[in-house]
Amino acid sequence: MQDKEIRTSDRSTIGEEMSAIKQKMSALTGKSDRIVIAIGASTGGTDAIAEVLKKLPENTPGIVIVQHMPQGFTKMYAERLDKLCRIEVKEAEHGDRIRSGQALLAPGGLQMRVIKDRDGGYCVSCLEGEKISGHKPSVDALFFSVAENVGKNAIGIILTGMGRDGADGLLKMRKSGAFTIGQDEHSSVVYGMPMAANSIGAVTIQASEKEIPQILVKHLAGRE
């Protein structure tokens, strides 16, 4: 995938980091379609997600995201992220395959889950349904599906947000063998969701949104 144009202000802050990250991530070639990174956020999450995604290289394993956001806004948000990031970002559609170099954002008003496809990889279902943990899309709905279908090949990240959506799902992910990251209190706009997850033992490590990309890449590089 050709590098997307990144604004000058971003280049100065991430240029050296990206060079080191790309070298580490090259070890994942041929393996990354079996890895799924799941991210959940709410209040303050639009900026936190952008901070994480814009530092990731083109060959990052497939990412699925739930950001609490009403119907009609998720498509515009995905398009904004796509312009900022080297990976492709799009609003998910039912049946989209999860693949490296791409992030799928759950559509507002639908529940997005990860399911296995016929080729041994993964795709998403985006369907109507009841609210889960008070939300649609729900981080818990996504995380529970990742725990069930991806297990130890998954990475879960819970970012700033009000309430506790995602806490139980992240715990299920960790118990299934996934590596889990929670945003720390200092950098969170609202330390609700990460705090709830951390308090029940769902978080492997806490970090700021600026530190999460490096932690993620270090973990992925260590999988070889």
Residues identified as active-site:
42, 68, 165
Q: Helix 45-53 vs helix 74-84: angle between axes, to the nearest 10 degrees?
A: 30
A 10 A CB-CB count for 206 gives 22
What are the angstrom distances between the C-alpha of 224 and each of 29, 63, 100, 126, 203? 10, 19, 16, 32, 23
What are the angstrom distances between the C-alpha of 20 and each of 5, 48, 121, 178, 217? 19, 22, 28, 24, 10
3-class SS letters over 64-101: EEEECCCCCCHHHHHHHHHHHCCCEEEECCCCCECCCC
- Whether the CB-CB separation of 157 and 212 falls below 8 Å is answered with yes
Q: What is the DSSP letter of 60?
A: P
CA–CA separation, 41 vs 156, rounded Å? 11
Q: Is 44 left (phi over 0), alpha (psi -120 to 50) or beta?
A: left
